[in-house]
Amino acid sequence: MRYLSANDYYRSLFGQKVYRLALDAGCTCPNRDGTLGYGGCIFCSGSGSGEFAADRALPIAQQLIQAKEKVRNKCGSDKYIAYFQNFTNTYGDEEDLRRKYEEALEDPQVVGLSIATRPDSISEKMYGILEELSKKTFVWVELGLQTIHEESARWMRRGYELPVFDEAVRRLSSISERLNVIVHVIMDLPGEDEKMMLQTIDYCSHLPIHGIKIANLNVIMGTDLAAAYEAEPFPLLEMDAYITLLEKIIRRLRADIVVYRMTGDGAKRTLIAPLWVGNKRLVRNCIESSFREHDVLQGSDYSPKNQ
Ligand code: SF4
């Protein structure tokens, strides 16, 4: 059984390793500014679930310098993807956002844009901007689905229903061969058993998505989830059980879907539970050795459509 990692995909597309630089477009989120709600998704941190992004007060060109500096010793790459990570990066004045995306593309080392957003926050004008951008560069739009189960979605205060997500995926994926959708899902939500989690994976596999980011639920300091967890702790999967689940996920995921992430990646200093997530090297090694043992191997062939 082989699966497609982000590294394999980038190598097939760009012939080398590519690193994502986390930037901040200065957006807020309709789930936080009162349009849909004030508290945000229950797991969302005050930084809009982007702990590692550059300083939002800086212009994008400066943020790129700062972000490159942060990864200088560990990345070994001279090609980057500008990753607009925090909050809802299509929510705001569209022309202002267009300028920020284009400012990132002025950097000759930036070979594409990754834009994290909500499926209910892409205006008609923004669809047009994304289409125009995809004529100039690779664009990945990242949508936070987390789960297909409405009860869990209400618990986490996601703020939109599943058909809204479906519609955004279909529209985005039909725009251009160079505009691809990456879906974020969260496993181990309270009230969801393995069958429900795998239903979310199966659902994603049947949509025209390009990639997936899989996370286990992380309880991060300062979130409403942390308050709920501290008031009444609920069980979270131990590392071995989570890796077993991951293997099942990978085995049933459509083979051409790029797997960008396999665990939550909150900052260790703010992580409350499960604590094993904070030991990233150990987690990575354990995933690799378990996958090897069970014949779940990285490195499937990627055939770009017309890219
Ligand atoms: S949609 Fe994203 S930024 Fe907005 S509250 Fe939820 S996790 Fe936070």
Q: Cα 191 to chain center, whole Å?
A: 23
Band (pLDDT 50/70/90 cuts) for residue 46 is: confident
Q: Where is average pLDDT lowest: 64-73, 112-121, 166-175?
A: 64-73
Asked if the model's pLDDT at residue 244 lies above 50, the reply is yes
Q: How far is the CA of 263 from the centre of ligand 1 (A)?
A: 18
The CA-based angle 86-192-239, given to 5 degrees, is 70
Phi, psi of 35 (to 5 degrees): -60, -50
Q: According to the model, what pLDDT value does residue 297 have?
A: 80
Looking at per-residue pLDDT, the higher value among 266 and 157 belongs to 157
CB count in 10 Å sphere of residue 195 = 7
Structure tokens belonging to residue 130? 């994304």
Which residues 6+ apart lie within 8 Å of 285 measured at CB? none
Q: How far is the CA of 242 from the centre of ligand 1 (A)?
A: 24
Asked if the model's pLDDT at residue 305 lies above 60, the reply is no
- Average pLDDT of 37-52? 80
Q: According to the model, what pLDDT value does residue 306 have?
A: 34
Band (pLDDT 50/70/90 cuts) for residue 240 is: very high
pLDDT digits (tens, 9 = 90+) for 206-239: 999 999 999 999 999 999 999 999 999 999 999 9
Band (pLDDT 50/70/90 cuts) for residue 307 is: very low
Check whether domain 2-298 has CATH 3.20.20.70, yes or no: yes
Q: Which residues line ligand 1 (CB under 6 A)?
A: 29, 31-32, 40-41, 44, 48-49, 87-88, 118, 144
Kindly list the domain boundaries of the chain, sorted by start residue. 2-298
Q: According to the model, what pLDDT value does residue 71 have?
A: 85
Q: How far is the CA of 30 from the centre of ligand 1 (A)?
A: 8
Which residues 6+ apart lie within 8 Å of 145 measured at CB? 119, 165, 183, 184, 185, 200, 204
Residue nearest to atom 3 of ligand 1 (CA): 87
Band (pLDDT 50/70/90 cuts) for residue 302 is: low
